[in-house]
Amino acid sequence: MRDIDLLAQLSELKTGEKEESTAAVYAQTHCGKISGSNAAKLCSYQPDIASIEQLETEIEELTHKIESSTTGKTKTAEESRAIKQRQLDRSLSDELPEGAVKFCEELAMLRITGYCEASDVDFRSKACAWGVDNEPVAVDALLSVYDHLDLRFTKDSQQFVQLGDYEFVGCTPDGVIYYDDAPTTTLDIKCPFNRRIHGIDNRGIKSFADFKTKYPAYYWQFTLQMLCVGVLSHSFVSFDPRFPAPLRLIRHDFVLVQQDADFMLARIAKSENLIAAIIADLMAV
């Protein structure tokens, strides 16, 4: 099941014509992707909506007092809400912040040079190796507990899913849950090397907002996964085989947050335009 509104927005973001450049030849290396694992580098700079709303409320109250004391006229509640919404819209449509711009510059360099970090060094830390080795075990554990799941694209059958027509934007979910032969939910499995992360932190997650606060990088990774696959829900699984059987598997299910999906799509569009401009400028020298 797909979200029609999101797909329509995605289509609108990509309707602009791409600049023709020899840089496109170099870009075919597929290096420098905006993937689920690094999407947070663009989206972690999202304004704190709660803080903005609080500030705007204070400004609104102060304006109300000033107008009442000087003119005897006050704005209606509807007018005040409209002003507040315009201010919020402006804050969300600002240009990419410095950190995101630098990240785009790094991706542009990767696409030009064809350098691919994954194939450059074959190195795995203990934590990374632990996660890779235990993920297949986690899949089996999940299916043993939820034996009704139609779970596809796991283990060796995982696939990179491109975001619409964005050649360098996509993700590789740890699995996709199907219902009636249609994708409904993306799956991400974490096997923390640190026992406390599994037993305390991951078990204590209560909501997607809570998850966003604790793990912003994962939050944006999962949001991109849902957008790429075209589903409205995500299942987060934490697994640690060292715990007693009833405590080894933790599962949290979340739904897509429309506002954050809109924000991510807008950031991706701006980032891809910036990366293309950087590459075109360099190749024109």
**pLDDT tens column, 136-175:** 999 999 999 999 999 999 999 999 999 999 989 999 999 9
C-alpha torsion 121→126→131→133, nearest 10 = 80
Kind plus residue range of the DSSP H or E element containing 92: helix 77-92
pLDDT at 283: 86
Query: Which residue has better confidence, 207 or 87?
Result: 207
Each domain of the chain, given as residue ranges in start order, spans: 4-14+22-47+94-283, 49-91
pLDDT at 57: 63
Question: Is there a contact between 185 and 231 (Cβ–Cβ < 8 Å)?
Answer: yes
Please check the confidence at residue 216 and state whether its pLDDT lies above 50. Answer: yes
Backbone φ, ψ for residue 158 (5° rounding): -60, 145
- Residue pLDDT, tens place only, 164-215: 999 899 999 999 999 999 999 999 999 999 999 999 999 998 887 888 888 8
Residue that has been written with the tokens 């990509």 in this structure: 14
By three-state DSSP, how is residue 211 classified?
helix
Q: Dig out the tokens for 6 from the structure.
A: 């999101």
Please check the confidence at residue 20 and state whether its pLDDT lies above 60. Answer: no
> How is domain 4-14+22-47+94-283 classified at the CATH fold level?
Lambda Exonuclease; Chain A (3.90.320)
Question: Is there a contact between 81 and 60 (Cβ–Cβ < 8 Å)?
Answer: no
By three-state DSSP, how is residue 37 classified?
coil
By three-state DSSP, how is residue 253 classified?
strand
H helices, E strands: number in the chain: 12, 8
Query: Which residues touch 154 (CB under 8 Å, ≥6 apart)?
Result: 136, 139, 174, 175, 187
- Residue pLDDT, tens place only, 236-276: 999 999 999 999 999 999 999 999 999 999 999 999 999 99
Query: Which residues touch 123 (CB under 8 Å, ≥6 apart)?
Result: none
pLDDT at 68: 62
Please check the confidence at residue 126 and state whether its pLDDT lies above 90. Answer: no
Kind plus residue range of the DSSP H or E element containing 277: helix 258-283
Q: Dig out the tokens for 179 from the structure.
A: 């219902």
* Predicted TM-score (pTM) of this structure: 0.72
